[in-house]
Structure 1
Amino acid sequence: MIDQNFFTFDDELLQLERQAMDLCADKFAELDEITQYNQLKVLHAFQQHQIAESHLVDTTGYGYGDRGRDALDAVFATIVGAEDALFRSGFASGTHALTVALFGVLRTGDTMLSITGKPYDTLEEVIGLRGTGNGSLKDFGIHYEQVELKDDTFDRTEIARRCVGKKVVYIQRSRGYSLRRSFTVEEIGDVISLVRQHEPRAIIMVDNCYGEFVQKIEPTQVGADLIMGSLIKNPGGGIAQSGGYIAGRHDLVELCAYRLTSPGTGRELGCSLGQNRALYMGLYHAPTVTGQATKVSVFANALFSLLGYEVFPKVTEPRGDIISAIRLGDERRLCAFCQGIQAGSAVDSAAVPEPCDMPGYESQVIMAAGAFTMGSSIELSADAPIREPFAVWFQGGLNFATGQIGVLTAAQNVRQIDRRS
């Protein structure tokens, strides 16, 4: 029940809110059970590695002997069932972590095969699908191919045929700016088994952004050689101020460390500059924050489905990430939705988002993010490229109570346009 002492919504919308909550009940119970499991898993890893106050102090300069940084790598590796990990503030973004991993393991003449179609927009220039002479994989003589999805899932026949001889097989777990499903860890494990049958030497990499802690297991626990992601998404728990991670096979993580810093020095370099405490705290809180954010997304899809909009995924469908996509139909509704999310935020609630050009994106993009950390999409946020199918991609919410207010404010904005149309 929304307390009208603080926020005012019309009676019809509040009636829809109650109906949406009823639709969410079973899914919320499922998410609570996953959250509890993952929270205990994280606690156990902290205790297993005997994390102490001395791990939380900062280092400067080269960062040699930063025991807190090194222990944090080990804690995260344990949590995701990997041999090794880099869980570092030195990554500027999730795209940076993905780029480091690709450049870390690929060499001139190798081929990268994406089996989930075209990757997220910000990787296009990294690969060389857009731009020239900017130091992309293509500039270094690394080839790229992709297998399109078939009927919204993996094209197993085409993957089996085309994975042979490929150095890297690449999977994007989340939907990106598309309306296809995000993939569950079980589905990823199944297609990994298929690739292993036909090309056992392939390095299988999973872009795990937005998927961490949404399920009880991660792709490294079903055969992925490397997973990568951002710390201002799920695993940073809304506390990490920057950073990213790479986790997986020890030899491959070492190669990535040489690309993150320099060959020969690798993971030994990189001072923490006072970030260790925030990274530890963020990781500790991450399962609960991710669970809350996923609930907000489920509620958003329930509410907007009642309003007559097409939503992805449906409330009862399995989830592989925290993201919801809502097809709103036109630019006016996209802008109204994002402006509602912004108005419902704790920070910069008076700001009014507008579409604009963004680095790394081909289309103009509108972004709403009233966040304590700029660009933190585990916090309440929404974004959309101004192009067909005129859908908005929504995620985040550090807690359900405030995230729900953002969704209701967005819905009220969109309903005003509906009434005028």
Structure 2
Amino acid sequence: MKAAAIGQFLLLIMACSAVTCSSADANETDLLSLLDFKRSITLDPQQALASWNHSTHFCSWEGILCTTTSPRRVASIRLERRGLVGQISPSLGNLTFLRNLSLATNRFTGGIPPSLGHLQQLQYLFLSNNTLQGTIPSFANCSRLRVLWLHRNGLVGPFPTELPPGLRQLQISVNDLAGTIPASLSNITMLDAISCADNHFEGSIPDEFARLQNLQQLYLGANQLSGRFPRAIMNLSALTDLSLALNQFSGVVPPDLGSTLRNLLLLELPVNFFQGVLPEWLGSLENLQKISLGSNFFNGTIPSSFSNLTQLAELNLESNRLVGKIPPSFGNLPILKVLNISNNNLYGSIPKELFRIPTIVQISLYVNNLDGMIHPDIGNARQLTDLQLSSNNLSGEIPTTLGNSGVLENLYCASQIALHEQQQAHSSSLHII
């Protein structure tokens, strides 16, 4: 009986020793991994890693957060905006409890270590705004990864396909990636943000994108994408931000788009080959804050329904084939800051209502067929900094009330318009052409 008790006691001691050794090994692994990362840094201008030494436990080092349970393990590394120069050490892949890694806005070079793709606890990975190169490694095994930000680097290769099914945000804009956008991306149905602008992607948007019912932000601008307006987008009812700018899309914008994308806040379609009349349904999307449709082939008149967009801050319709008059009802847009309808075929006078918008900062109406005189109500536009009226058929003098705008910086006016001496003396910083 006594022998059995002694045996059980010895087993308990051995088990406790094993746990202690395991804990010590885990702590040692994390410590060595962090020190190896520090050795890979060649310049630390802010001395962000000055505390990374043996004088204190690594859980007290700057930028490090650890788990609260024993043994304490590295759970988060946050060293963004520290000016760090060097490479990302592959040893970070040994931090098996790491949930957050943020090294954004530094000067890291080299590639993204494939070992990061083995971190099964990783939820957030921020490596944006560096000078990383090479291809994007597989993150398929990072089953808990929710946010992957790799934008503003020098990454090459195809669109990443080895991604975890629970990913929510994918940011890979401003790199040198190429190829087509894979249909398999639609299998990640939890995605709420995709940004792959400013790359070299070509082809069309896969029809399978219609499955991304949680998608709220889609930024595909500045690529070589082509084809008709993507029908798959029609089903993305949660979408708030849509940017297809600077591509090669063509054809008409579907007339029923407004009935499905009711939550749109931002619509950017400039510098494509879209044609047809401006969609009347845009005026029914009451939450819209920005419309940018410039440098296309839209024709017809500007829908008066646009004046219903009381949340609109920016309207850009420049460089199209629009005709008709500027709707005076634009004066009903209470928070409009930027109005650019230059380089069209608009005619008639400039509605005085434009100058009554309290928030207006920029009005660009150049290269049209506008005529008449500028209304004295221009003095009500107290926030106006840029007024572009050149290459029209305007006449008369600029009203003396212009002097009420103490913030006006740039005035581009037609040669037929005379500038009163009071305006010439009104501000030494005013740039007049």
**TM-score for both structures, normalised by structure 2:** 0.21
Which structure has the bigger radius of gyration?
2
Name whichever structure is richer in helix by fraction. 1
Higher-RCO chain (CA-CA 8 Å, sequence separation at least 6): 1
Name whichever structure is richer in strand by fraction. 2
**TM-score for both structures, normalised by structure 1:** 0.22
